[in-house]
Amino acid sequence: MRSRALVAIDPRPGVSLDRWVNLISSLCDFVAGFKVGLPFMFSYGVSGLRALRGSCDRFLIADFKLADIDHVMVLTVSHVIGYVDGVIAHAFIGFKGGLEGLKEYLDGLGVKLILIISMSHAGSVDVLDANIDRLLWVADRLRPWGLVAPATRPDVISYARERAPWAKILAPGVGVQGARPGDGIRAGADYEIIGRLVTEAPDPLEVVKWVNEEHVRALRGG
């Protein structure tokens, strides 16, 4: 079975790029892809991203949690076009002068847009989750390739799954943040995002293999 695991690469300062290139090479055949955020970009820059891309040709996501006006989001993403397959932005930003321009830009380049409708931390309930219908309305109008909804609150995933059958759902929060591998898949997610549980493990490949087994079990209804 194709893996449902996306590995989040969020380096602590002082770790060498080689460590990540080696890690990604070793996991390449066992995962669906990877995502990098701002800590990666600030550590290694665009050339670091190019090195990752060169070491494994899986789905690579720029997870900058974009939440700016269109002009600035497009300028930001223009630096990584050619190296990534998807870009994560916040549905919260709304259309006009915001996500509309980003979507148009990414569509023109064949890069997938992924919108966050809920997050994995507890504070997501303060504002985000109270607006789930509004955020799903933004998503429905924009029709991005994917949505982000948290494995830590599977009911949010189930709700999004029902309301947005057209979307791929990516579920973060597996591992250190509290969800167990399979929690997101069972609730209807297509992928689970796993970070420190894999990247800080003594044997990351063993963890990925175990996560994949848990996903198979979840898909079988276990």
- Biggest CA–CA distance in the chain, Å, is 46
Q: What minimum distance in Å lies between the beta carbon of 80 and a second copy?
A: 8
121 binds a second copy (CB under 8 A): yes
Q: What minimum distance in Å lies between the beta carbon of 163 and a second copy?
A: 16
109 binds a second copy (CB under 8 A): no
Binding track over 65-84 against a second copy, x by CB under 8 A: xxxxxxxx--xx-xxx----
167 binds a second copy (CB under 8 A): no
219 binds a second copy (CB under 8 A): no
C-alpha torsion sign, points 10, 111, 50, 21: positive
Among 25, 45, 107, 166, binds a second copy (CB under 8 A): 45
Binding track over 23-42 against a second copy, x by CB under 8 A: --------------xxx-xx
Nearest CA to 43 out of 73, 10, 74 is that of 10
Judge contact between 23 and 205, C-beta under 8 A.
Answer: no
Judge contact between 99 and 66, C-beta under 8 A.
Answer: no
163 binds a second copy (CB under 8 A): no
Tokens 């076009």, located at residue: 81
95 binds a second copy (CB under 8 A): yes
List C-alpha distances in Å: 26 to 7, 29, 43, 105. Answer: 12, 8, 21, 33
Among 25, 109, 130, 213, binds a second copy (CB under 8 A): 130
Question: Roughly what angle, to the nearest 10 degrees, separates helices 154-163 and 132-142?
Answer: 40
C-alpha torsion sign, points 175, 15, 18, 34: positive
Q: Which residues are catalytic?
A: 65
Q: Residue 99 carries which DSSP code?
A: I
Q: Residue 146 carries which DSSP code?
A: E
19 binds a second copy (CB under 8 A): no
Smaller CB distance to a second copy: residue 70 or 192? 70
Among 128, 160, 189, 211, binds a second copy (CB under 8 A): 128
* Cα distance between residue 135 and residue 171, in whole Å: 16
99 binds a second copy (CB under 8 A): yes
Residues that bind a second copy (CB under 8 A): 10-13, 37-39, 41-43, 45-46, 64-72, 75-76, 78-80, 90-100, 119-128, 130-131, 134-135, 138, 177
